[in-house]
Each structure stands twice: as C-alpha cells, then as structure tokens.
Structure 1
C-alpha cells in the first residue's frame, strides 16, 4: 500500500475515537476570556498528541489561552521551503456553564454542544491528521499544528504567534467548519472590533434635569450615525451589538458605552470607514459630552491569490478522491486565516468537518464528515509535491 492508502485507511477506522475526543473537548467551557478552560482543552489535545509520539510546545499567553505548537519532521525534502501548517482555535463564544447546560450529544448522526463545529471538530480533525502522519510518515515537508486560544475576539495575543508561524510556512490549512453546503472558504471579510465610552454629567431627572448631560442620548445619536455608514453594495457593515450605561432610571446618565463590529471586503475601505467612525466619536451631538474609542481586536480579510487558488484546486481534487465534492465560497465571517494570508502564505479555510449555526444554541456538526474531511486534508498534504506550491 502507498502512504496515502495507509493514512486514509487508518483514518477510516477512527470515527469513534474522533467522536470521543470531540466529546471531551466540547464538554469543557472555553469561552475566550476563560483562560483555565481554554488551557484545559489544550491539555486534552496535548495528551492525545503526545500519546501518538508528537512533540508539543507551549507558547505561554498572559491573558488568554496558551498557544500549542505540535510538530512532525518532514520525511522528504519537498520542492519548496517551509512547513505545512494546520491551524485551529480552542476558544468559543459561550459563557461559563454552557457545557453543563448543553453537553455534547448526538441525535440522528448530528452532534450538538457549545463549539462542536466552531471549531472543536476542526481541532479533532487536525489531531488525527497529525497522529496519522506521525504513525505512517510521508509528509513532504515538516508538519506544524498550531492550536490557539483567542480567535473569537480577534486573536489579540495569538495573532503574533500565528503570523510568525505563517511566515515560516509553505501553505496553511485552517480547519474552521466546512460550510453547510460542504464547501470550503476561499474569501472572508476583514473586521474590526471597537468599544467607545461616553462621559456625560449626572443630575436628578426630576429635580435638576437641565443640569444633566445625557451620555445615553449621545450614545443613541452616535449609534444612528455609525449604522448609517453601512454600505451593503460594497460589503461594508456596521453593527453596535452591545450597549450599556446609566446610573438609575431617575438619573440623567453620566456614562454610556457601546461596542462596534465593522466588516469590510476591500482593504482600502477600512481606512476610510475608520476615519468616519473616529469623526463620529469625536463629535459631540449632545453638548458637553466626551467620548473615547478603543480598538479591541482586528481581523484581516482573506483573499484568494494565484497560489491560494492552486491550493484550493489541490484540495478539490483531494476531496473528490475522498468521496465528496466541494467548491469555494465567500463569507462575511472573519477568521485567523486572514492573518496567514496577510503575510503572503497560500491559505485555504474551512477545511474542517461540516457544521452550521455557529455561535447559537442550535450549533451542529455532521458526524459523518469527520473522516472524509480528515482524509481530504491528508491527501492534499501528501500531494503538495505534485504542485508548484
């Protein structure tokens, strides 16, 4: 048998083991600000990988989950420099206690639970691909599995690790969930997450109303102005998704704050929109208020370069050999793949198992896609030397 046949045949026997590893990870709370939980998921991954003979390095992070870097030396020289990088994040968007309220469950071949698709199934897949190459060899270049911990909030700490690793990489496979259509992702929007805080002046809303300066009124006016920047034809959206403020119902609000989500397609549009947002924040619609804007996280857009197109075509061929058809699609969601593409490394995203309704209680994963998606990614890795990548 060839190495490709050995690896894909072994993966075909691993669905039950994949499901068990996935269950263990899903049943651990790992929201982006829960560093102990994210690191607990990392401990599960480390234990699995080390049991299969891989070396796992910890890249400590102060505020969020540590990054884990697993590696396998290449078996061949390859026709291009750099490692083959498998990437995924361990954090989810869900609050503490969600894993206990909604533990991992399978109904009619569909798995449910917090982060089951986004993206603990992709982490599971990457673990088994790495284990397969550790067992059978054959990688045309060194393999690196990078497991980060803060993607859902823009990778404020993980970005530097991701970009450094990507600069040394030959290609990147990001195992975000495959689309419900079965497609992979070849393009994503960029995004900026911001927070603005407004200061007003408190006053009794009955006895001294005129002495107050309402930060909440100022926030309302700014929200309207910010939302008006949305331009659907250009793929630009603005959403103030969280607001808070005030002291009591009978007090003119002395403070208020909001959080802004900006999405864009063209990199040149970001600077234009950011300048307009800053102008809105600097303007006082309610005289006497002051406001400050803070950028909390940022994603770069994923665009398909000619080299990334070749990687996509290689994956499509590998998928066909693994028994399924796939195509590329664009999504408004952001991901760490924008950072790897941003440093010039050919990148393909959403090669993970197929799922949907991410970030909601209805999030789901098709169990029957665990094995074929792992086989397709392994085949694409093995066939890299037949390309100019």
Structure 2
C-alpha cells in the first residue's frame, strides 16, 4: 500500500517524537512534544493556540484550519503524555526498527496515532479539501485522567460535528466505538494505635478495617453486568509492633452504563466502617463517563467503513473495551465519537511496546478521508 521509501521516511519522522520522552509528570518533556507539533505546522494555513499548563503539568496545543463557514468542526484529539519514566529509552526500551516494528516508549499509546493524524490534518488543511472547520487538540495528561485538559476537551467537543480520537487501534486494526466508564476512589482509615504486645486490646487497627472494606469492594464486581472493582494500591501502619492507626487504598471501578456509574459511585462513597471505632473517609467518583455505541456513533463508524473500503481494507470495530480515553468525555456529551483511529501495534504501557510501520499509511489515509467527508 506504500512505497518502502515513504514508510521509511514516516518511521524516521515518528522516531523523533518517540525519542523525546514525555511521561505525564515530566512537564518539560511534554512541552517539548508540544514544541514539535507547533514546529511541524509552522508556515502552513493552520492557526496555533497554546494553552499554558497548570498544576505542574504540560501545556495544551489547539490547531485550527479549514473553512470558517460557521459549521461545527471536525475535531481530532491526541494526548502526548506517556507512562514510561524518563530514561526508559536509554535502558529498557530503546527506539529502534526491527522489520515492520518500530519500538519505543509511547510509540503505540499514542505518539504513533498523534503523528500520523497530524500528517493527515496538514494535508487536508493545505489542500483546503474539508467541508467544515477543522480542530486538533493535543493534551498533556490523559494517562492520569485528564484533570487539566477535560474542560477544553469538552469545550472543543461541544462545538464539533464529530470527534476523532487517535488512541491505538485494537487487534487487527479495529476501531473503538464503546468504552467502559472509569471511577477512581481514595479510601483513608484512622484507627487507634497501641502497643501490639502490651496493650493489644486497646488498639483499633486501620489495616484490619481496610481488609474488611477491600473485600466488600472487590465483591461488588459483577461480570454479567460488566462492572469490575479492584484495589491495586494500598498502604498503612507505623511499625511491626504497633497496632496501625492509619491505612489507605485506591479503588478502580469500571461500568458499561451511566446508570451503573451512578449506582456504583453511591455504593462506594456510602460504605460504612465495620468497626465503629475506626473512621473511614472516601473521596473520588466516576472520572470518565461510559462511552456507549449510540446511533450517531454507529453512523460515524459506517462512514469510516466506507472510507476504509475505498482505501482497500475492511474496517471493523472492537467490542466495548474496559480502558477509558478522552473519547469518553465527548461521547457522553452526545457528540459522535470514533476512537482507536491511531496506529496498530502491541505492548502499550510495557517494555515491549511497538507500532507497525505498515499501518501508518492506511490509518493516515483513513483520517484524511474522515476529515474530508464528515
């Protein structure tokens, strides 16, 4: 589908992005990625708005192009933050090409998708071939739930006819038309400390209470309804010979419907202490609303299928996935949202992360077609 030289050029250009490490907490790296975006569109008929970061996180960049005809825009959205700490490429996951695979931290999730979508955006902007205004939002904090970017994501989404998310494709190049909603909660417990040997009966163990609460929360998992709850982070205690005064743990909750999100939020926030002498404080809630395959989403997918057929491949969509994305926010607004439009690959968030170079050209062509058709 592509000439080897063009594939090689694309891989080389994408490698520059991957080599610049940009974990969410490393604002300098994330801002370096925003600099690369701005540099890539310099001198083109594309307006660049840079929104300064806050709370120690990186900036956002919003690109606008296309017709100024008062119509709702077609909006692309990509995040440029990754999960791998700085130094990963020097130690455990060097940026390299092995056959059709380009390895490196964040190449699949989601620098590959962001890069190829930007090339499609530039191509359409320069050709003036879109029917609507175009917008492209690059964000710095998706990997931690988009705390500083959610407002702008929703603002851009509300003004859009459709939103295209460049998270990685699912196995076999499938796109995403539905995602579970995601809830995050923090539980803090305070008991009464005492000497574990001489005053054991006087103590009220925060860790013992945490054990009761963790079992209760994990027991809320209902696979038949698509609800999962898990506790993967916890801590507490002072010393081996002290009844623990403090304990804490984090809760992850996934749901398939808005109603179940409300129900689970109420259940978790409403938990009461098993031991009345231990205080329990629970904060948090549903962070990402469910992204359900509405009629409008299904229609957008069929448009994409038609474009893909013209390019030469059969586009399919994946079953509802458990992972969240910024597409959850825009889909919840009722805006037709198509996700998983990014690069194909495997190993996201691992030290074996790679992208398929051969997928760059067809995915770029698909996004170009969507920008010109919607």
Q: Would you call these one fold, judging by a TM-score over 0.5?
A: yes
Paired position in structure 1 for 2:310: 321
Alignment of 1:121 with 2:103, yes or no, is no
Let me know the Cα RMSD of the aligned residues. 2.1
Of 249-258 and 238-247, more deviation after overlay is shown by: 249-258
Equivalent residue of 2:344, what SS?
strand
Distance 1:43 1:372, change over 3 A: same
Paired position in structure 2 for 1:5: none
Distance 2:302 2:118 in 1: 24
Query: By how many angstroms is 1:100 displaced?
Result: 2.7
Alignment of 1:37 with 2:29, yes or no, is yes
Distance 2:21 2:285 in 1: 23
Query: By how many angstroms is 1:135 displaced?
Result: 2.7
Distance 1:292 1:138, change over 3 A: same
Alignment of 1:264 with 2:252, yes or no, is no
Query: By how many angstroms is 1:356 displaced?
Result: 2.3
TM-score (normalizing by structure 1): 0.90
Q: Deviations over 1:234-282 (max 9, x none)?
A: 00000111111222222222211111111000110111111211232xx
Equivalent residue of 1:381, what SS?
helix
Q: Deviations over 1:194-219 (max 9, x none)?
A: 21111123323223322322211111
Distance 2:361 2:218 in 1: 43
Aligned counterpart for 1:55 among listed residues 43, 47, 51:
47
Alignment of 1:284 with 2:284, yes or no, is no
Distance 1:173 1:209, change over 3 A: same
Paired position in structure 2 for 1:360: 350
Say if 1:31 and 1:96, in contact at 8 Å, map to a contact too: yes
Distance 1:29 1:220, change over 3 A: farther
Paired position in structure 2 for 1:211: 202
TM-score (normalizing by structure 2): 0.93
Task: Give 5+ residue unaligned stretches, structure 2.
Answer: none
Task: Give 5+ residue unaligned stretches, structure 1.
Answer: 1-7, 385-389
Say if 1:318 and 1:377, in contact at 8 Å, map to a contact too: no
Alignment of 1:180 with 2:142, yes or no, is no
Distance 1:33 1:293, change over 3 A: farther
Query: By how many angstroms is 1:232 displaced?
Result: 0.3
Distance 2:31 2:285 in 1: 22
Distance 2:75 2:157 in 1: 8
Aligned counterpart for 2:337 among listed residues 332, 335, 347:
347
Q: For this pair of structures, how many residues does the alignment match?
A: 371
Distance 1:53 1:12, change over 3 A: farther
Aligned counterpart for 1:162 among listed residues 153, 164, 173:
153
Say if 1:196 and 1:257, in contact at 8 Å, map to a contact too: yes
Paired position in structure 2 for 1:201: 192
